[in-house]
Amino acid sequence: MVSRIVKVAPFDLVVFGGTGDLAYRKLFPALFRRFHDGQFSDGTRIIGAARHDYGREAFRETVAKALRQFALEAIKDADLDAFLELVDYVSLDIGSDAGWNMLAERLPEDANEVRAFYLATGPDRFGAVAAQLAAYGLITPGSRIIVEKPIGRDAASAAKINDALGAVFAENQIYRIDHYLGKETVQNLMALRFANALFEPLWNSGHIESVEITVAETIGVEGRGAYYETSGALRDMVQNHLLQLLCLVAMEPPAAFESDAVRDEKLKVLKALAPIDASNYEACVVRGQYRAGASATGAVPGYPEDVGNPGTHVETFVALKVFVNNWRWAGTPFYLRTGKRLPKRVSELIVSFRNVRHSIFGPEVKILPTRLVVRLQPDEGIKLWLMLKEPGAGGMRMRHVPLDMNFAEAFQIYAPEAYERLLMDVIRGNATLFMRRDEVEAAWAWIDPIREAWNQSPLEPRFYLAGTWGPASATALVERDGRSWYEESN
């Protein structure tokens, strides 16, 4: 199968923080692959901007090194050289006027109509960059600004950042990126629901018994200890990734697959989330912290050793039981969990349907629930677990078996990485997969009372050994409802 490549208009992309880890690991490889596939038009330019005192050629050498290390395929020298011809660099200081005149010279008034500014920086610099772009007259009608999560640390700080961005850019020019929404399987969740008559009539609490969302990592904080000590799993993962996935599962059908229509429905879900606060926190939330244990690579230290803080109370694991208080989902629990140093790296959604009302096969045949499993990473794909009869004579022997669709095998084409799709969506002006201001602030408004309940609670994070599935209380969270977390062996 051949994927049809649609070129985008020529654009200028300025990457602030262009010498950082995100730029080298994700952004430049994503841009190279889109260039390699022929998606760029003549005249496109990519400009790195950072404090390092690089010249153009020195910066190109660092980009070439990153592409050879992080791109997924072998790179031909000719392709690499052609891509690097698009790459330029400006040394500047976000907090002062140093270098901004040079950037302005690289972006004259007659530059490309589409001008994108990617802020691969900490959120504390977002407002300053926006203000400098305005001060130097770099914002055009075709400008867009792209900002990474986290957008703030709570509702108040998120509103402050949004105010700073909104003072310079119109809301339709602001692209708040969550790379999870760029994954092919996440988008296929919407196709699965809204393009197939099989699922949407059953997509409600009358037929769905529970929903589970798991985002598990095998790694620890990996050098991000300073950031993680101010964040924790709730802010780092739940407020954005997991809540966005929950919204896509739970939202009502939008009027059209169009940016504001989709985001309107996601906002309704966020506003319908049942509150979790000091009154119900202990029944709905488990927080944990990994301690020394083992991973696939051998023995690993605990989180306090990783961050050099023996007394830290920051959570590296969170499990929640969440309800969506509306007509579609009343009474159906959504179980969310995420953590570091877990046994497997996996991100998946599990929709468990209610059992048949009456089994005709007698009590000796155990009927397991129909389950839809959408795996986001690794090995993106979709499984539908069904009860089927085993072949052969000798009675009705039933087995729980999957109808299994692996994306790589089914389509036999390269599936773009999330950043590839999202960057091209920015250039096209398609904001469907990006968060709107009211979404971000509604998510924080739901998260903040959980943080406040933690601060008031005498309970510390429950410890769990690295390489296990979190604290025992996370298992109890679902087992007291007569359920269990999904495992591949089910």
| 8 Å CB contact between 322 and 276 | yes
DSSP 8-state class, residue 240:
I
**Closest residue by Cα to residue 339 from 373, 315, 370:** 315
* Structure tokens given for 39: 């998606």
Going from the C-alpha of 219 to that of each of 257, 297, 316, 357, 479, the distances in angstroms are: 36, 10, 11, 43, 27
Place of tokens 């359920």: 483
Rounded to the nearest 10 degrees, what angle do helices 437-456 and 259-272 cross at? 20
b/e per residue 212-233 (b: at least 16 CB within 10 A): bbbbbbbebbeeebeebbebbb
DSSP 55-86: -HHHHHHHHHHHHHHH-SS---HHHHHHHHTT
Place of tokens 């926190």: 281
**Closest residue by Cα to residue 336 from 254, 381, 276:** 276
**Closest residue by Cα to residue 208 from 490, 487, 483:** 483
CA 304, CA 309: separation in Å to the nearest integer?
Answer: 5
- Residues 6+ away with beta carbon under 8 Å from 218: 295, 296, 341, 342, 343, 344, 345
Instruction: Name the active-site residue from 36, 207, 241, 358.
Output: 241
CA 344 to chain centre: 18
* Structure tokens given for 206: 């009358």
> Is position 36 annotated as part of the catalytic site?
no
**If 0-12 CB within 10 Å is exposed, 13-18 middle and 19+ buried, where does residue 58 land?**
exposed
**If 0-12 CB within 10 Å is exposed, 13-18 middle and 19+ buried, where does residue 57 land?**
exposed
Positions annotated as catalytic residues are 241
